[in-house]
Structure 1
Amino acid sequence: PALRTDPVLAAEWEPKLTSYVYEEGLRPAREKAGVLFGMGMTEKQGGTDVRSNTTRAESLAGDGEYLLTGHKWFCSAPMSDGFLVLAQAPGGLTCFLVPRVLPDGTRNVFAIQRLKDKLGNKSNASSEVEFDGTWARRVGEEGRGVRTIIEMVAATRLDCVVGSAALMRQAVAQAVHHATYRSAFGGLLIDKPLMRNVLADLALESEAATVLAMRLASAYDTDTEEERAFLRIAVPAAKYWVTKRCTPVVGEALECLGGNGYVEESGMPRLLREAPLNSIWEGSGNVQALDVLRALQREPQALDAFLREVGKARGADHRLDAAIKNLLTELADLEGIEARARRLVERMALVLQGSLLVRWAPPEVSDAFCASRLGGDWGTAFGTLPHSLDLASVVTRARPVAD
């Protein structure tokens, strides 16, 4: 999306970025059938506050060509062929494309100081890099760097939602599979009422995350004015909630395997290390909550689109109807809203998930979700669903199916 602000750059790079061919090695992009992109926006002194960036961009005689000087504290995927970065040009903060290899085949100045020693996500390197007369091409207008790159950020936030939903699904599938074949105390774990409650609870969280991720992806592909307005609130709300739920889901799923889940060979520790990452990438929880508030205050059409979406399920479940009514009451008073922004965004995400499940999931799934997440008949840990629900059907639906 960012590259499309410059048709020349888009024509040059987009076909290779969307290629299904992977070519390793550093060569001029024109010689490769497929390329990878990273980005470098954050700096030591600012982090998410990219407007405080100090990396400088000096304009050259060539149209749109610059030399960059400065440091990037987090530069993703340093093996990539190109990077979108932000730097201070004479006209203000601006977006630039930094190729790893220059058109004449020589290496661009891209000094990797170190790779980050991260908690997880180790196979996907993050780096600290230094620019020192690094050649770059401007993307968009000077002084409009944030506006240029924001659509890419929105797409990456959607990717974080999809990634967290996928992590949850993998963890829940492992837990259900283990319980299906593990015998203890005279029977299979999956047939034990308490374990079934835990698995059903995890399955609800996973399915709610998945259906929300798919709804956002559909809106992104449709790309109408109505859907863009919906995404303006739905993406940061989903990014906030789904990525936050990933870590407790994976932790509980790991526990379903007992001590085996804590052993590296099970694969669960890797999932647990990976689980917090999407909540941090592309703006942590507070950033997402504040982004929703900005949309509420500045873009009334976004709230209208969101309410129309959740309203499609009105009348189908009394607990959902009550949750929508309570949400409208909260939205009616935005004075001093920042301190309760997380609470509000959480409710918005849950109501949206409930609306989608009521419309698209089997009745046993939507009933259990609305009873627990919206109706309040739920504890503070997984495995505390009302015992009267059809939990066996929820677990059966979550069971992995062999190819």
Structure 2
Amino acid sequence: MTHSTGPTHQTHQTHTVVNQPPPLVGHDTSEDPALLAALEREGAGWALEEVRALGRLAGGAQAQDWGRLAERHPPVLHTHDRYGHRVDEVEYVPAYHELMRTAVGHGLHAAPWADVRAGAHVARAAKFMVWNVDAGHGCPISMTYAVVPALRHAPELAARYEPLLTSTTYEPGLSEPTGKAGLIAGMSMTEKQGGSDVRANTTRALPQPDGSYRLTGHKWFTSAPMSDVFLALAQAPGGLSCFLVPRVLPDGSLNPMRLMRLKDKLGNRSNASSEIEYDDAVAWLVGEEGRGVRTIVEMVNMTRLDCTLGTASGMRAATVAAVHHARHRSAFGKPLLEQPLMRNVLADLVVESEAATTVAMRLAGATDRAIAGDESEASFRRLALAVSKYWVCKRGPAHAGEAMECLGGNGYVEEHGMARIYRELPLLSIWEGSGNVAALDALRAMGREPASVEAFFTEVELAAGADHRLDDAVALCKKELSDGAELELRARRVVEQLALVLQGSLLVRHAPAAVADAFCATRLGRDWGGALGTMPPGLELNGVLARVPPGV
């Protein structure tokens, strides 16, 4: 007779993980055929090695962790110290400073202004795009890049500060600017009563006997308030003017810029955006009194370029994440990447991303050549930048949302990282002029500078005859422009068409046939639905999906 010695215990594997993609870590964010081809085409092939090195760093575990920590632990405002002294300081986690140190060290901030090589701004654009581990710290990086051309309206100030702004040394902390090894710059434009209508600003600037001014007023958005210097708009006796405002004065005391609060934002969380009050703050005039908008627009145009670059970067990151997931995840008996409808969605994401990257890099090339004195490129850039800022940035949030859906619930949770991309992209459409502002600026460019229209279509028509859908779209675009009735009401429609024919022309000339054909069939031929993933049958999707190589 057999006696039982107790219950039989069996080991149950209740949490065996299968059918999940490996982490997207240890890859190279510069492994982007469209970006690398544009780097060479736009005159910065000499920067390939550094772009690739930065891409490998961005895809590595350490940099990914920096980005995660900087966003998860946002900056904290300290208005007073423990004794009650006013300090107006913002505290960041160490990861934020590592991000900044890397970006500055690679010249993403302002180094191109001191680099005499042709293509310096293109090289910087490519590095800006591949260093996509955290968008928040990109804000002070972008503003520092943009402040230099505006500051050159005051040669004495430029001579003093530009070498420090272009330095590749990052030195955080509040101290007198000219005593530091490198500087970060910000800008302070909008006020609560006007927003984009900066001529409604009420901050006043009173001239002083020593040539300085004193600023008093409230600014609604001042990002990166721990920057060393700022460009600010204020009403001087001669009208709205641009000023340089240091955070610390020559005697080492804090300039009276009171940080009232930090904004609680949808995204861009690692970047401190503040409301400030100037309480008789010391400032120096940049440019002429009454010409503040014209002076600071130099800065705005550079940050608009970065909005376009940043959106293209976010699109590429979202596309890579979606394709990576689909390569490793199976459903209904085969990988998602082999499912026809998923292939349609993924290919559409690739096409949108590649169009954004190609036009963004073309604008970086135009920036280089315009700075070098090419008037036709300057005219092209004037219109193309406003057009592309409108359209590329407008497409970003929808693109990120569709990419998130490719991952299902995994894409919606914070651990994956797609949520960070999704939260970030609306900002780039809002920053430096939301959709309506950008569209109306494009109309102004066409009205004030007819040469910009000629230069724009000269560029577009380099692809004339290569695809009938592009030719038809260009003809329709010109017809829309020739009709002056209610043009402001139709501004978005017109600017969208301009953006699409520019992207189409660039892809027809420079992208693989599969990508160009898919773009022309959908965006120009209008054989497309209202959502991504509605491309028609007959397109060569293998060639499109190959633009995201395995292992990226």
Determine if contact 1:166/1:210 at 8 Å carries over to the other structure: yes
User: Does 2:160 correspond to 1:12?
Assistant: yes
- AA aligned to 1:188 is P
Give the root-mean-square deviation of aligned CA atoms: 0.9
The residue that corresponds to 1:278 in the other structure is: 428
Contact 1:176/1:399 (8 A) holds in 2: no
Q: CA deviation at 1:105?
A: 1.0
Partner of 1:33: 181
Match of 2:254 in 1: 107
SS at the partner of 1:73?
strand
Q: In 1, Cα distance between the equivalents of 2:389 and 2:550?
A: 26
Alignment partner, residue 74 of structure 1: 221
Which amino acid is the alignment partner of residue 507 of structure 2? L
Aligned partner (choices 312, 323, 328) of residue 181 of structure 1? 328
Aligned to 2:384: 234
Q: Which residue does 2:401 correspond to in 1?
A: 251
Q: Is the 8 A contact 1:173 1:400 kept in 2?
A: no
Distance change in 2, residues 1:21/1:380 (3 Å):
same
Q: Using the alignment, how far apart are the partners of 1:285 and 1:329 within structure 2?
A: 23
Moved more, 341-350 or 185-194: 185-194
**Which residue is equivalent to 1:396?**
546
Q: What is aligned with 1:368?
A: 518
Tell me by how many angstroms 1:322 deviates: 0.4
Q: Which amino acid aligns with 2:401?
A: G
In structure 1, give the amino acid aligned to 2:426: P
1:269 to 419, 430, 442: 419
Matches within 5 A, 1:208-227: 208-223=355-370, 224-227=374-377
Match of 2:497 among 325, 344, 347: 347
Task: Give the corresponding residue for 1:336.
Answer: 486
Q: Which runs of 5+ in 1 are unaligned?
A: none
In 2, Cα distance between equivalents of 1:311 and 1:393 = 25
1:157 aligns with 2:307: no
Unaligned runs of 5+ in 2: 1-148
Alignment of 1:135-150 (within 5 A): 135-150=282-297
Residue 297 in structure 1 maps to residue 444 in structure 2: no
1:92 maps to which of 239, 250, 263: 239
Task: Tell me if structure 2 keeps the 8 A contact 1:28–1:105.
Answer: yes
Measured in 1, the distance between the counterparts of 2:179 and 2:336 equals 56
Instruction: Return the TM-score normalized by structure 2.
Output: 0.72
Q: What SS does structure 2 have at the residue aligned with 1:382?
A: coil
Deviations 1:28-85 (A, max 9, x none): 111211111111100011100000100010101112x100000001111101001100
Greater Rg over alpha carbons, structure: 2
- Alignment partners' CA distance in 2, 1:233 and 1:140: 24
| Structure 1 position 335, deviation (Å) | 2.6
Distance 2:425 2:205 in 1: 36
The answer on whether the counterparts of 1:93 and 1:142 sit within 8 Å (CA) in structure 2 is yes
Aligned twin of 2:60 = none
Identity %: 64
Alignment deviations for residues 256-310 of structure 1 (CA, whole Å, 9 cap, x no partner) = 1111001110001111111100100001000011111111222110100001010
Which consecutive aligned stretches of 4+ in structure 1 deviate over 4 angstroms post-superposition? Answer: none
Corresponding position: 1:311 with 2:464: no
Shift of 1:20: 1.7
Give the distance between the partners of 2:187 and 2:547, measured in 1 at CA: 39
* 1:11 CA displacement: 1.4
Deviation at 1:400, TM superposition (A): 5.6
Amino acid at match of 1:266: H
What secondary structure sits across from 1:338 in the alignment? Answer: coil
